A = this chain, B = another copy of it.
């Protein structure tokens, strides 16, 4: 945002970016647990204490990296959606899912940062929420497009879940039939479960044809939210 607002502010932004860049490099090599402020400072040729002018603590640096990771994943998903804007919704759904998987495989430690165990304290701070929502919004958008067209199947909804489903649609998926809200949220979590198992090595000696397996599973996930293949 507001650039060219004094040489000092620009320098600050540049140093901040450099710190995050170096930290991201360490993250990719060693993982979040071994990310060291002193090593980052060493790589940048500055005193470790100077680093605290930019991030008040190690956890704050990690939080910044978390937000960046959410944004990076979200942007990847958005690009995949836009690139497949001509395709029918089920294909677009699969494209977005595969883009998310590809991003996670390319950035395993960043994926672990956002969908693995939360490292700082216990729960992630609220500042991460908007960035975290991006990929969810992409998935919702694909389903909404299908609903506006003719291609969304109706799903059964147990009576006791109806109030929750209506609250969900009102909160973050307006214009969608309430029956799809819960399956959509579930599919979001399940998609990350599939990706996480692959990234974290849980499929070791279990799934060999990872690509084909994921295609199949993600396709069925799309069906579970009402996207019927042609």
Contacts and interface: CB of A to CB of B under 8 A. Distances in A.
Question: Which secondary structure dominates where chain A touches chain B?
Answer: helix
A224 interface: yes
Nearest to A121: B31
A192 interface: yes
A189 B182 contact: no
A3 B182 CA distance: 51
A174 B96 CA distance: 34
Interface string A37-71: 00000000000000000000000000000000000
Given A161-B212, A182-B216, A209-B161, A33 B201 contact: no
A129 B205 contact: yes
A213 to B, nearest CB: 6
A167 interface: yes
Interface residues of A, number: 55
B196 A196 contact: yes
B196 A164 contact: no
A124 to B, nearest CB: 7
A188 B203 CA distance: 11
A208 interface: yes
A230 to B, nearest CB: 15
Interface string A137-155: 0000000000000000000
Contact of A208 (B32, B117, B164, B193): B164
Given A117-B116, A212-B164, A123 B185 contact: no
Interface string A15-47: 000000000000000011100000000000000
15 contacts: A33-B119, A113-B117, A117-B117, A117-B200, A123-B200, A123-B201, A161-B209, A164-B212, A171-B206, A186-B194, A186-B213, A186-B220, A189-B194, A190-B194, A193-B194
